Amino acid sequence: MSLDSHIESVLWTPDQIAARVSELAAQISADHSPLSEPLVLVGVATGAFLFLADLARSLRLPVTVDFIRAESYGSGTVSSGSPRISSDLKLDVSGRHVVLVEDIVDSGSTIACLIAHLEAKGASSVSVCAFLDKPSRRKVHFQLLSKGKFYRGFECPDYFVVGYGMDFAELYRNLPYVGVLKPEHYK
């Protein structure tokens, strides 16, 4: 079964995604060189899995990789507004420079919760690298401490998007592009 027929329009093609990921990786590499210890990439499961894999392979720095899981959407398209951390880090990030890797920042509640969590663990800096940023939907205006930076791939228009890691009801994550679903597929 192909899910391509469920897509109304493609917003970013695989080539556009690859080009932007390379630019982000170059910027992060330049900003974090040289480091005395490897940069810690923290992927936000599940949605960031493809972006993290692509970004990590483009970085020209030693990195360590871990995952964290925060849930707020369940199977719908609207955030509950109060994410909970359902799976924590394995690595100790105290004294380390961390980049939180997200597929999308939408209401901002997930990333705000995770930034606070990593800062409380004593990270030296917490930056955010989000493939997409949807500022039109922002409810929580997160702040980074002075050494943290916000890297974003693209500004996303006000659609619920799928593909390149992002799901609707756990489907569409493996599409190699980002697109908008046809209305009949939002149930």
Ligand X SMILES: O=P(O)(O)OC[C@H]1O[C@H](OP(=O)(O)OP(=O)(O)O)[C@H](O)[C@@H]1O
- Catalytic amino acids? 106
| 3-class DSSP state of 77 | coil
> Binding segment for ligand X among 9-17, 25-33, 42-50, 92-100 (CB under 6 A)?
42-50
- 73 belongs to the binding site for ligand HPA (CB under 6 A): yes
Residue 72's binding partner among ligand X, ligand HPA, Mg ion, none (Cβ under 5 to 8 angstroms by kind) is ligand X
Q: At closest approach, how far in Å is the CB of 47 from Mg ion?
A: 5
CA distance 40 to 92: 10
Residue with tokens 């997160």: 142
Q: Are 181 and 7 in contact (CB under 8 A)?
A: yes
Q: Which amino acid is at 89?
A: L
CA distance 71 to 91: 20
Q: Which amino acid is at 115?
A: I
Residue 47 or 148 having the CB closest to Mg ion: 47
Residue 161's binding partner among ligand X, Mg ion, ligand HPA, none (Cβ under 5 to 8 angstroms by kind) is ligand HPA
- 73 belongs to the binding site for ligand X (CB under 6 A): yes
CA distance 15 to 100: 24
Q: Which residues bind ligand X (CB under 6 A)?
A: 44, 46-47, 71-73, 79, 102-111, 167
Q: Which residues bind ligand HPA (CB under 6 A)?
A: 73, 104, 106, 160-162, 166-167
